[in-house]
Amino acid sequence: MILIFNKPMNVLSQFTDEGKWPGLARYIDQPGVYAAGRLDRDSEGLLVLTDDGRLQARIANPKFKLPKTYWVQVEGVPDDVALQTLAAGVDLNDGRTRPAKARLIEPPDVWDRDPPIRVRKSVPDSWVELTISEGKNRQVRRMTAAVGHPTLRLVRVAIGPWSLGRLQPGEWITTTVRP
C-alpha cells in the first residue's frame, strides 16, 4: 500500500505525538504504513507512506537519487548567480550538495499557512522551485540561506513519480504508482 499525504505545518513525520507537536496518527488511520523519509515539522507538503519496507528504503535512501521537488518561499529575489549556485551545488558544513534544478516561479496557488510567515515590509519575498536528489538534514533551508535567501516557507510538491496534486493539508489518498 502507498499513501500520498499532505503533511500540515507543525506535524511530525512520525505517528506518535511529541510534546505539543502532533504526529501522523491524528490524520492517518491505516495500520502498518510508515513514512518513507522525513519532512521537517516546520515544512509542509508531500509525504509518502507505505507498508512495503523495500520501497520505503528506496524512497528514503539518497543512493537511489529519487528527485524531490519543493516550492520555497524565500527572503529577497534570487538573481541568476544565486540560482546557478543552487543548481551547481552548494557547499554546506557537511559537504557539497549534489547538482539540483532551481528556478524562480510565480507565487504558487497553495493554501494559507498557519501560522503565516513573518513578513518584513522592507524585504520582498519570492518563490523558487528547487529539485534535489538527496536529503541532507534541513538541506533546502541551508541551501537557500547559503546563497543569501533564507527560507520563509517550504512546501514539498513531488517525490519521484508522486505529486501533491490538489490534496489539502491533512488529506491523503492511496495510489498504485511505483517508482
Q: What pLDDT does 64 receive?
A: 78
Instruction: Tell me the three cell numbers of residue 128.
Output: 523558487
Q: What is the CATH number of the domain that holds 142?
A: 3.30.70.1560
- The answer for residues whose C-beta is within 8 angstroms of residue 119's C-beta and 6 or more apart is 125
Which amino acid, residue 49?
Answer: L
Same domain for 30 and 87, yes or no, is: no
Same domain, 133 and 177: no
The pLDDT score that the predictor gives to residue 156 is: 98
**Euclidean distance between CA atoms 9 and 42, whole angstroms:** 5
Output the domain CATH number for residue 31: 3.30.70.580
102 and 118, same structural domain?
A: yes
Looking at the structure, do residues 165 and 154 belong to the same domain, yes or no? no
Q: Are 172 and 146 contained in the same domain? A: no
Question: Are 167 and 154 members of one domain?
Answer: no
**Same domain assignment for residues 36 and 101:** no
Q: Are residues 82 and 140 in the same domain?
A: yes
In this structure, the answer to whether residues 147 and 93 fall within a common structural domain is: yes
Query: Alpha-carbon distance 92 to 19, whole Å?
Result: 30
Catalytic residues: 40
Give the SS3 label for residue 143: helix
pTM over 0.85: yes
| Total tally of structural domains belonging to the chain | 2
Residues 56 and 122 in one domain: no
Residue 125 and residue 156: Cα distance in Å, rounded?
18
Low-confidence ranges of the chain (pLDDT < 70): none
Domain carrying residue 120: 67-159
Taking the C-alpha atoms of residue 96 and residue 87, their distance in angstroms, rounded to an integer, is 12
Tell me whether strands 125-132 and 101-105 are parallel, antiparallel or unpaired: antiparallel
145 Cβ contact partners less than 8 Å away, ≥ 6 residues apart? 151
Q: Are residues 154 and 75 in the same domain?
A: yes
E strand map for 9-150: 34-35, 44-50, 68-75, 91-92, 95-96, 101-105, 125-132
Are 105 and 172 members of one domain?
no
DSSP state of 21: B
